[in-house]
């Protein structure tokens, strides 16, 4: 599977890298081996994993066998987004 980065997603990853040290490698590893995938809006899926004392969420779209990263964000509100 290939990871396709949008310009917006690259910018967001850089911002979270400065704030919490979220690396591009962590984002790609999460997309390849997510702790959880939940439904986002319409045809968007969200890969998520607990890290950096919070939750890293990566909304993406399936493009054939690849994953296109739409954005990247971290939240402390794990209970809001985590599905049991």
Each residue of 8-66: pLDDT tens digit? 999 999 999 999 999 999 999 999 999 999 999 889 999 999 998 899 999 999 999 99
- For residue 52, what pLDDT is reported? 85
Q: How many folded domains does the chain comprise?
A: 1
pTM for this predicted structure: 0.92
* Angle at which helices 7-20 and 24-32 cross, to 10°: 110
Region for residue 15 given its phi and psi (left: phi exceeds 0; alpha: psi -120 to 50; beta: otherwise): alpha
Domain that holds residue 40: 3-81
Q: How confident is the model at residue 84 (pLDDT cuts 50, 70, 90)?
A: confident
Asked if 65 and 83 touch (Cβ cutoff 8 Å), the reply is no
């Amino acid at each position: 599977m290939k990871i396709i980065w949008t310009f917006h997603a690259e910018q967001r990853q850089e911002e979270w890298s400065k704030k919490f040290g979220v690396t591009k490698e962590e984002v790609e590893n999460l997309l390849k081996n997510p702790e959880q995938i939940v439904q986002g809006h319409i045809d968007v899926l969200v890969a998520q994993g607990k890290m950096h004392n919070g939750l890293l969420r990566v909304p993406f779209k399936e493009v054939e066998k690849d994953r296109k990263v739409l954005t990247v964000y971290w939240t402390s509100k794990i209970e809001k987004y985590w599905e049991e």
